[in-house]
Chains A and B, each alone.
Chain A
Amino acid sequence: MERPLADATRLNALVLMVGRTRDAGAFKELFDHFGPRVKGYLMRLGCSPAIAEDLAQEAMLTVWRKAALFDSEKASASTWIFTIARNLRIDAVRKERRPELDANDPTFQIEPERPADERVDWVQAEGRLHQALAHLPREQALIIELSFLGDKPHSAIAEELGLPLGTVKSRIRLAMARLRSALGEGA
């Protein structure tokens, strides 16, 4: 594995540069890093190489267009680009509406501004998440991986692994407790 922490700092800075100054050099570096990863992710999810290629290009174009909206207090660059790729795939491959929460929702409860000492440094957090993911017990890691790289509800995952649904749910809960504590949010 590469040095995730150093990378993550650099990648965040690159997205900010694209957002602020439309820096084509910074964009090229982001493209070289994320393009092949987004393509790999989509292929693992069952997209054909041609569709994965198209969607990865589309994702990078979205990065260029929306870079000014990137908020490093809410997510790391990898997380932001992951959500872009995830949404493009649902739109293109599943051809489904993607119900989303919407901050303009009048019923939406405004999130109170978090005190500075509770803010998450997402670049740091990404490093800790890598560590925590690498140290998950095998049985939990497998289910988290199937969830990330599959397109199946947990009931189908349970069936595939020949496990009771309750076991799959409790492994997800245990894994999430560990990952949350890695993010410094307690179990």
Chain B
Amino acid sequence: MTITHHPGDELLLAYAHGASSEPVALLVATHLSVCELCRRNVRDMEAMGGAMLSSVEPVAMSEHALRAVLSRLEEKAPESNTPSPAHSDVPVALQPYIGDEFAKARWIAVAPGLAHIPLIARDGVRARLIRAKPGAGVSVHTHRGEEWTMVLTGSYHDATGRYLPGDVQTTTPDVFHRPIANEGPICINLAVTDAPLIFKGLLPAVIGRIFGF
């Protein structure tokens, strides 16, 4: 997989420092599973976190803290009940949200050739899957905030270029774009927005309101 579009340092840094909200963390984790370069980057950012932890002003633990912890050393660790990930085309980070088969997930039709699945919304930041048949796409829109789109299968293009599996396109509020799925395998994207999209024209705006785009 040749990935040419990566999430910016600011997204990776927030993830490494535990500051990203769940929708953004989902996008970053999904990208990391296929991108060694960004994994290295996050590892370096965690090393910064480690260096910064050692310079944090210490705050004394309670008087009995050590004894309390020592008395629990023999306690059995809580069993982790995470099922082992299924072999499938769905990245592991996504499986808790939609199961392990794209085809069996609960797609909601939005327009001809276009379907979506809302995944999570936290404080106005939303993650959704968008599935587009070749030639289908989302109407011309821009964003109040930013939008990050990661290609999971297939590919799409807009005026700024072509996006292939693993790529993350970052779109800022000044860009109007109209992503269209390319010929070939069906295009499934993970899209995260930190504010509602703004559509050009009346009809798409209505669709946007109904479907929460």
Give me the interface of A with B, judged by CB distance under 8 Å: 1-2, 4, 7-8, 24, 27-28, 31-32, 34-41, 43-44, 49, 52-53, 56-57, 60-61, 64-65, 74-83, 85-87, 89-90, 94, 96-102, 104-109, 111, 122, 125-126, 129-130, 133, 144-145, 147-148, 150-155, 165-166, 168-169, 172-173, 176, 179-180, 183, 185
Contact = CB atoms under 8 A, between A and B. Distances in A.
B29 A147 contact: no
B24 interface: yes
B142 interface: no
B103 interface: no
Nearest to A78: B50
**What DSSP secondary structure best describes chain A's contact surface?**
helix
Q: 4 tightest A-B contacts by CB?
A: A79-B50, A36-B58, A78-B50, A99-B29
Nearest to A74: B43
Contacts, number: 223
Interface string B25-53: 11011101111100111011111111111
Given A61-B69, A109-B36, A168-B10, A122 B53 contact: no
Interface residues of B, number: 71
B44 A36 contact: no
B3 to A, nearest CB: 10
B87 interface: yes
Contacts of B61: 31, 35-36, 39, 53, 56-57
